[in-house]
Structure 1
Amino acid sequence: MPAPTTRPQLRGDFGMVASTHWLASATGMSVLERGGNAFDAAVAAGFTLQVVEPHLNGPGGEVPVLFQAAGEPPRVLCGQGVAPAGATIGAYTALGLDRIPGSGVLAATVPGSFDAWMLLLRDHGTMGVREVLDHAIGLCERGFPVLPKIAAAVEALAPVFGRHWSGSAALYLPDGSTPAPGSRLRNPALAATYRRLVAEAEAAGGGREARIDAARRAWSQGFVAEALDGFLAGDVPSSSGEPQRAFLSGQDLADWSAHYEDTASVRHGAHTVHKTGPWGQGPVLLQQLRLAEALGSGKLSGTSREGVDPDFVHRVTESAKLAFADREAWYGDPDRADVPLQELLSAEYARARAGLVDDTAASREQRPGSVVGRTPYLPPVHVPGQAPQDRTTGEPTLRNAADPADRRGDTCHLDVVDAEGNMVSATPSGGWLSSSPVVPELGFPLGTRAQMFWMDEDSPNSLAPGRRPRTTLSPTLVTREDGQAVLAIGTPGGDQQDQWTFTALLRILNGADDLQEALDAPMFHTNAFPSSFHPRETVPGDLVVEPEVGPDTVEEMRRRGHDVTVNGSWSLGRLAAVGRDPDTGELRAAADARGAQGYAAGR
């Protein structure tokens, strides 16, 4: 008997939006109600997330988008900015660094989200710059509710803001103290930035597309790039007050733009699952699907009031270890690295790898595969010592007591579908409030995505100017045999994204008709591979579970050699999903109750 769900699955035929914050979902739905399509709604919701989840993303961050315009094939929109022209391994080692820091301007890559959202709006939307920024501007000016996690993040960072990051203090400590949960926080500087972008777009004249391109130029070659150039021209304090000179410049913004790519995909039964290329970690989910086919994991994916089948937890966890070991060994920007993706995603390779899974014992080794006779890259393994660690949630959490700004990164997610069959899945991230100082003139900080590079020329994810870091950001789109999109799904969670999404997706593709039921089912993950975030720790044998997997399953996992941490109930993941039945036109949506802020809206 299935476990009860927290909320109803939404069903309708007009439009659906699901995201990690109710205000973003409401924004998207408002745009649909005003006649916009799924692309207009996604862009507006994305800009709203930058305002209401500033501890998880911002305008200085990035976004990958998977989408399908009705009647066209699925595509990827890459909003991942590249390493600056001056960001070489030698430049960092000259500063005495062997890893790129997790906070501060030294880790900044080109901000990619604004250009990506505008490109999506220009090519597939129907509205203008003003319409999609309207809600975000209003929330900046009127104020938005402070989530408990925003308050907690600001409180932890208050000493840094007060002593070293004056722009952040002015924004997040408006009265000299941490804003209370439930209070309202304003960001007038960001509102002014958005309003100026609208004004410059409309002053340019021409058609809708020309005005959107004018906004893009104002960002990458105009006043935004100039403000960033001025802010970064001198020393910028780190979280400890040490002066840093950023590698990023306004010219780096001018030299980059978002672009479209083909998806990476595999067939799974009657469906095809689409992800980004190996500049994101998305293909690990595809590798896990192949391993699930070889191991029969899908047949075990159901849940009951008694919990989750221990064989399912064990096989999924061991498959994740193999796939993520391959991520570190082979994944990187395919424009700059030779990534053997076709071989990694083949059924033959998966069957060979599946033979490494021992149903009786957990592996504690890093076991990347050899592909076409090539030797896999093995990154250095850093096992956590006595420093405080949080291996449980994937939320931004303190990891280095000496540096409050060194926080585990997280992100946001949104999915949208409209009555015409347009579908969007996006995972905006980066530029969160703990990453680096707020630029006072603009109202937002830069991101720290360069921390995901390895400073080793042998790595496929090696730092180099103009290269995309291999990120954790991982939206998912699913099509059926005739090529029509039927599902968009994703979650925040760093390295856990393609574990939690995979678990939910396997349940959906193997018969869970209720999206909310699939999202509410007990979650688990492992950290038994190098983290994507500074200081890149690995926890061999690790398995984190929600107690709802069941006490018998927990005990069996320990018997098989997993180091099990039983986390709190409803603590792993913040999934969102929308679906469409092309035969009937029925739309569905669901959002995870975890985190007490994600919501779906639709009719």
Structure 2
Amino acid sequence: MFTTRPELSGTFGMVASTHWLASAAGMAVLEGGGNAVDAAVAAGFTLQVVEPHLNGPGGEVPVLFARGDGRGQPGGAGSGPTVLAGQGTAPSAATIAAHRDLGLDLVPGTGLLPATVPGAVGAWLTLLRDHGTQPLDAVLRFAIEYAETGHPVHPRVAATVASVSEHFRTHWPTSAATWLTSDGAPPAAGRLFRNPVLASTYRRLLVAARGATREAQIDAALAAWYQGFVAEAIDEFCRYPVMDDSGRAHTGFLTGQDLAGWTPTYEAPVTLDRGGWTLAKAGPWSQGPSLLQALAMLDGDPAVGSSDRSPGTPFVTAELIHSCVESVKLAMADREAWYGDPGTWGPLGGDVVDVPVEALLSQQYTAERRALIGERASTELRPGSPDGRPPRLPELAVRAASGTAPSRPAAAGVGEPTVARADADVVPGVDSRTGEQSVTPQGTTRGDTCHVDVVDRWGNMVSATPSGGWLQSSPVIPSLGFALGTRGQMFWLEPGLPNSLAPGKRPRTTLTPSLALRDGVPALAFGTPGGDQQEQWQLCFWLAHTAGGMDLQQAIDSPAWHTTSFPSSFYPRDMTPGEVVVEDRVGPEVIAELRRRGHDVTVSGPWSLGRLSAVSRDPETGVLRGAANPRGMQGYAAGR
């Protein structure tokens, strides 16, 4: 099969990410004696600087990691996959009633109202403290250098700033001061861009990192972020009203006390065993289990098996896409009805969220769902009844599926994320064809996320998907040099749902890294940006690699597809029943057959869907491999 670049192989270390500078930073840390965790943290902080339209210090990051055999590393023998949940929670004052009092039926996608506790920095520092080996300055120096002395602006960053520059000048002057030149122009692609205020924020963390041990120093930096100067600046900034996409200015709910009361958590992943592989995902506060549900429904499907394919027969067929899309529709309907942050929420301890993950992945339930897949495409939103429990969908989702949703300004698509409006009559979203950042004729932007994967010579493995804190979605905090996240837009303002807004609760995020074991040994880490499409593009990759026999780069380069036939996780939460988006490389015969089966096919460009990266380690030989996506001309893998 044709590939855009070779699959890398070696024995020392591999780093793959959505930006070449982040991959280079991670590789430099490995060369300096660090392990996979050290490298991932360095890459993660670098991404905050070089992909500011896709993530920032005010955002969040879920991490999946596994320790190798521990030779030469502190901590001893290896361990199974673990989730570090760097998704911040809703502020204590962010209630459904408070939003209803403002006349809102959805949490806005921009401004200060949707801000949750910034979790990215807390997660990166916690991971470094507990599982890394390097001091903070060794991993933070790359981000500081690129923020302080400058980095060449990627064309997509320049286009994003240009598309919202008028909004900055009119409504968000702090963002204008940060991102526009002295004469009010956006930065030019390829020219060096500096963010000295952000560099100063990072340096103040280093100044605060004082202690007798490496761990104590990192704890001091965490305290400076969540209880010190950063928390104080966020608290003060959220008291001032700013324009959001409700068309009105609002103050934020987030306070310094909210930051002081939050810490990232270590959790067991949700897993699925199939064919010698164990695929691990974050829990139902993410959309991770939906990939496992879809895979379980595909068990025994002849379109997925590769053993009966003749040499030269394409792996991607109409039958394969149809089976995958119909499985995804059922899994995403369950996501909407059942997924949320498990626990008990609300000021009075009500609103118990009991997500039946085990039942959703059981053989009996999977068989019931599989039986619903027919030869024709479904346009319905069909959640199931695990353990006989009746599902409940959000009213707006039901109306969106039936075409009777309330009229809102037209969205440019669905996906990730909602961003600042450049025109009062346009609500932007992500392009349903690509899921990636682009600029519309109306001047609005559409966003995306980041991803990084690392494996080292000891077998330590990390997969992380940082996002949020987008420069185009919330105004810059002038004393810190970054914007807050807007992940709270993923909550529903309808009581009694698994993903209903409640103080101290995590929104059900779309961020979803992956880590897989081969016969019980960590062997593969992968992921992609793309909002609601993340699991779908990972499904394309997973099947191409594990069932289609393709190497990492071939599987990434293989034609991709996804469906938008379920409610978007992002404002204004719309959907397109029956739509399937395919890269035109699948071929005219496949497209024609999908249409014959009743799919509403949107044909996208040949290299337009997904921004996957992946690393692997052969458990028997120890050979390491890495690959990254050519789409977007931004992601690269590095290794030796």
Task: Give the structure 2 partner of residue 477 of structure 1.
Answer: 515
Alpha carbons of 1:29 and 1:396: their partners in 2 closer, same or farther (altered >3 Å)?
farther
2:267 corresponds to 1:261? yes
Q: Write the letter of the residue equivalent to 2:424.
A: A
User: Helix, strand or coil for the counterpart of 1:495?
Assistant: helix
Structure-2 separation of matches of 1:349 and 1:119? 38
Alignment of 1:23-38 (within 5 A): 23-38=21-36
User: Helix, strand or coil for the counterpart of 1:7?
Assistant: coil
User: 12, 15, 18: which is aligned to 1:14?
Assistant: 12
Alpha carbons of 1:209 and 1:403: their partners in 2 closer, same or farther (altered >3 Å)?
farther
Alignment of 1:327-346 (within 5 A): 327-336=335-344, 337-346=353-362
Alignment of 1:134-213 (within 5 A): 134-175=141-182, 176-201=184-209, 204-213=210-219
Task: Give the structure 1 partner of residue 350 of structure 2.
Answer: none
Structure-1 separation of matches of 2:250 and 2:616? 46
TM-score normalised over the length of structure 2? 0.90
Structure-2 separation of matches of 1:571 and 1:392? 15
Residue 88 of structure 1: CA displacement?
A: 0.3
Kept after mapping to 2: 8 A contact 1:141/1:188: yes
Q: Write the letter of the residue equivalent to 1:51.
A: V
2:473 corresponds to 1:435? yes
User: Helix, strand or coil for the counterpart of 1:160?
Assistant: helix
Q: Write the letter of the residue equivalent to 1:16.
A: M
User: Helix, strand or coil for the counterpart of 2:388?
Assistant: coil
User: Helix, strand or coil for the counterpart of 1:473?
Assistant: coil
Task: Give the structure 1 partner of residue 452 of structure 2.
Answer: 414
Alignment of 1:238-253 (within 5 A): 238=244, 242-253=248-259
Q: Write the letter of the residue equivalent to 2:253.
A: F
Alignment of 1:544-563 (within 5 A): 544-563=581-600
Kept after mapping to 1: 8 A contact 2:410/2:426: no
2:512 corresponds to 1:497? no
Structure-1 separation of matches of 2:106 and 2:194? 35
Task: Give the structure 2 partner of residue 535 of structure 1.
Answer: 572
Task: Give the structure 1 partner of residue 287 of structure 2.
Answer: 281
TM-score normalised over the length of structure 1? 0.96
* CA displacement 1:171-227 (0-9 Å, x = unmatched): 1102310112212211100000000000110xx221000000000000000000011
RMSD: 2.0
Task: Give the structure 2 partner of residue 371 of structure 1.
Answer: 386
Task: Give the structure 1 partner of residue 489 of structure 2.
Answer: 451
User: Helix, strand or coil for the counterpart of 1:299?
Assistant: coil
Moved more, 220-229 or 237-246: 237-246
User: Helix, strand or coil for the counterpart of 1:280?
Assistant: coil
Kept after mapping to 1: 8 A contact 2:418/2:428: no
Alpha carbons of 1:448 and 1:392: their partners in 2 closer, same or farther (altered >3 Å)?
closer
Residue 230 of structure 1: CA displacement?
A: 1.4
Task: Give the structure 2 partner of residue 570 of structure 1.
Answer: 607
User: Helix, strand or coil for the counterpart of 1:564?
Assistant: strand
User: Helix, strand or coil for the counterpart of 1:66?
Assistant: strand
Alpha carbons of 1:239 and 1:328: their partners in 2 closer, same or farther (altered >3 Å)?
closer
Q: Write the letter of the residue equivalent to 1:358.
A: G
User: 492, 506, 509: which is aligned to 1:468?
Assistant: 506
Alpha carbons of 1:304 and 1:415: their partners in 2 closer, same or farther (altered >3 Å)?
farther
Contiguous gaps of at least 5 residues in structure 1: none
User: Helix, strand or coil for the counterpart of 1:105?
Assistant: coil
2:213 corresponds to 1:234? no
Structure-1 separation of matches of 2:582 and 2:429? 22
Q: How many residues align?
A: 597
Kept after mapping to 2: 8 A contact 1:306/1:550: no
Contiguous gaps of at least 5 residues in structure 2: 69-77, 345-352, 431-446
User: Helix, strand or coil for the counterpart of 2:463?
Assistant: strand
Alpha carbons of 1:133 and 1:76: their partners in 2 closer, same or farther (altered >3 Å)?
same
Structure-2 separation of matches of 1:295 and 1:507? 14
Structure-1 separation of matches of 2:416 and 2:228? 36
Task: Give the structure 2 partner of residue 351 of structure 1.
Answer: 367
Structure-1 separation of matches of 2:109 and 2:95? 17
Alpha carbons of 1:556 and 1:164: their partners in 2 closer, same or farther (altered >3 Å)?
same
